[in-house]
Amino acid sequence: MAEVTPFFLFSAAFLASAVEMVEALTIILAVGVTRGWRSSLTGAASASVALAAIVGVFGPALTLIPLDVLRLVVGGLLLVFGVQWLRKAILRASGLKALHDEDAIFEQERREAAAGPSEERLGLDWYAFTLAFKGVFLEGLEVAFIVITFGTSQGRLGLAVVGAVAAFVLVAVVGVAVHRPPSRVPENTLKFGVGVMLTTFGTFWGTEGTGAKWPGGEASLLGVLVGVLALSLGLVAVLRRLEGRSEVEAVQVAA
C-alpha cells in the first residue's frame, strides 16, 4: 500500500484549514466588532471545542475500519468534494463566478449582526454567540472532515491535526493583529490548490480501494497530481477564451 508523503498530508490539512478559517474569521470579526467580543469569542471557542471533539471521536473510530474499505469510502468522498471545490475555483479563476470579497462579506455580516435581536442567555448576547458558533462550526466541519479522512487513511491523524492547528494559529494571529478580514489572501488560489489535492488523493485512494494497483506505486500520485492540475488549468484557459469570445460578440451586436 502506497504511503503519501507527510508533506502532502500536512499541506492539504494546512491549506484547507487556512481557507475555511479566513471565512470563519470574517464572521467572528464582524460579530465581535458589532455585538461585543465576549459572546463572539465564546461562540467561536465553543465551536472549536465541538470540532475537536468530532475529530477526537471519529478519527480513532475510523481506524477500526479495514484500510481498503476506508480508502474506498474516503476516496469517494474526497473525489466528490474535490470536483466541486475545483469547479467553483475554475469558474472563479476564469471570471465566470465572482471572487470572494472578504471586505464586502465583512460589511454584510456586520450589517446583519447589528440588525439582529437582543436576547441574553447564560450571561451572553445569544444572537452573537449563535452567529459566531455557526460560522466557525460550519466552516470548520469541512476542515474536520479533511483532517479525519487524510489522517486516518495514512495512519497519521496527529500530523493532519498539526497542519490544521498551524493554519488556525496563523489566521488567528493575523486577525488579532489587523482586526480586519485578511482580504489580501489569495483565497481562490488556495481553494484551487485544495481542490487539486482533494481530487488527486480521492482518485489515488479510491483506485486503491477498488483493488486496482497503480503502475509505479506511490510515484503515480505525482502523475495524478500533474494530470489534475493540467486539466484544471486547461479548463480555465478554455473558459477564459470562450468568455472573451462572447464579450467580443456582445460588443459587436451592441455596435
Partner 1 sequence: MNRLRAFGAFWYDFVVGDEWSVAVGVLAAFAGAAALVRLGVNAWWLVPAAAAGLLAVSVLRAARS
Q: Which residues bind partner 1 (CB under 8 A)?
A: 72, 75-77, 79-81, 83-84, 86-87, 90-91, 94, 96, 141-142, 199, 202-203, 206-207, 209-215, 220, 224, 227-228, 231-232, 235, 239, 242
Residue closer to partner 1 by CB (options 38, 240) is 240
Residue closer to partner 1 by CB (options 56, 216) is 216
- State the nearest-atom distance from the C-beta of 171 to partner 1, in Å: 22
| Rounded distance between C-alpha atoms, residue 93 and residue 156, angstroms | 33
- State the nearest-atom distance from the C-beta of 33 to partner 1, in Å: 28
Q: Quick one: cell of 203?
A: 482518485
- State the nearest-atom distance from the C-beta of 174 to partner 1, in Å: 27
Residue closer to partner 1 by CB (options 77, 165) is 77
Return the DSSP state at 182. -
Long-range contacts of 74-77 (CB under 8 A, 24+ apart): 74/149, 74/152, 74/153, 74/202, 74/205, 74/209, 75/201, 75/202, 75/203, 75/204, 75/205, 75/206, 75/207, 75/208, 75/209, 76/202, 76/206, 76/209, 77/145, 77/149, 77/202
Return the DSSP state at 64. T
| Rounded distance between C-alpha atoms, residue 42 and residue 223, angstroms | 45
Residue closer to partner 1 by CB (options 158, 217) is 217
- State the nearest-atom distance from the C-beta of 229 to partner 1, in Å: 12
- State the nearest-atom distance from the C-beta of 218 to partner 1, in Å: 13
> Which residue matches cell numbers 461562540?
43
- State the nearest-atom distance from the C-beta of 212 to partner 1, in Å: 4
- Terminal-to-terminal C-alpha distance of the chain: 62
Residue closer to partner 1 by CB (options 181, 202) is 202
| Rounded distance between C-alpha atoms, residue 166 and residue 162, angstroms | 6
Residue closer to partner 1 by CB (options 181, 206) is 206
Closest CA to 29 of 105, 116, 117, 81: 105
Closest CA to 113 of 26, 52, 50: 26
- State the nearest-atom distance from the C-beta of 208 to partner 1, in Å: 9
Residue closer to partner 1 by CB (options 34, 232) is 232
